[in-house]
């Protein structure tokens, strides 16, 4: 049995072998992987910087678009307010006109006359089309 023990490497010699690996091979590979990791990190930082720059430009463009739309909506709102004021004045005038019976009759006659005129106009056009065609 002692013979077998002598042929087996001792525990300290196995550990000494790892120490030599660690000093040479493992350190070289860890520094190599550290360089790769730093290179990957630099690429990731550059990509992230590009994405942030793009998002910054995009948000700036969105802000400008929102500002222009807000100005447009303000102008439309102001014009609508002005139109509402004009319509209210017109409605008040119509109310005053229709309060009197004689004015109501006059407006009715003007409406009937306009409708009759339009009817006669189109009737003449249609008859003129058939006689010429």
Residue 132 is predicted with a pLDDT of: 62
Residue 10 has pLDDT above 60, yes or no: no
Q: CA dihedral in degrees (54, 57, 61, 62; nearest 10)?
A: 60
Instruction: Report residue 77's pLDDT band, with 50, 70 and 90 as the boundaries.
Output: very high
Give the tokens for residue 63: 């802000």
* Helix extents (H) in 1-133: 2-7, 11-21, 27-99, 101-132
pTM for the whole structure: 0.41
Q: Angle CA(117)–CA(118)–CA(122) in degrees, nearest 5?
A: 115
Residue 86 has pLDDT above 50, yes or no: yes
User: Is the CB of residue 45 less than 8 Å from the CB of residue 52?
Assistant: no
* C-alpha neighbours within 13 Å on the C-beta side of residue 56: 6
Residue 2 is predicted with a pLDDT of: 45
Average pLDDT over residues 81-97: 86
Instruction: Report residue 121's pLDDT band, with 50, 70 and 90 as the boundaries.
Output: very high
Distances (CA, A) of 129 to 57, 104, 106, 117: 64, 38, 35, 18
């Amino acid at each position: 049995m002692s013979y077998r023990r002598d042929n087996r490497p001792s525990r300290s010699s196995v550990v000494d072998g790892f120490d030599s690996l660690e000093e040479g091979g493992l350190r070289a590979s860890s520094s190599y992987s550290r360089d790769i990791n730093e290179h990957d990190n630099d690429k990731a930082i550059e990509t992230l910087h590009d994405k942030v720059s793009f998002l910054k430009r995009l948000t700036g463009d969105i802000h400008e678009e929102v500002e222009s739309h807000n100005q447009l909506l303000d102008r439309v709102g102001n014009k609508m307010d002005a139109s509402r004021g004009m319509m209210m004045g017109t409605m008040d005038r119509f109310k005053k006109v229709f309060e009197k019976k004689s004015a109501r009759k006059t407006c009715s006659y003007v409406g009937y006359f306009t409708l009759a005129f339009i009817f006669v106009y189109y009737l003449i056009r249609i008859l003129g089309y058939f006689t010429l065609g």
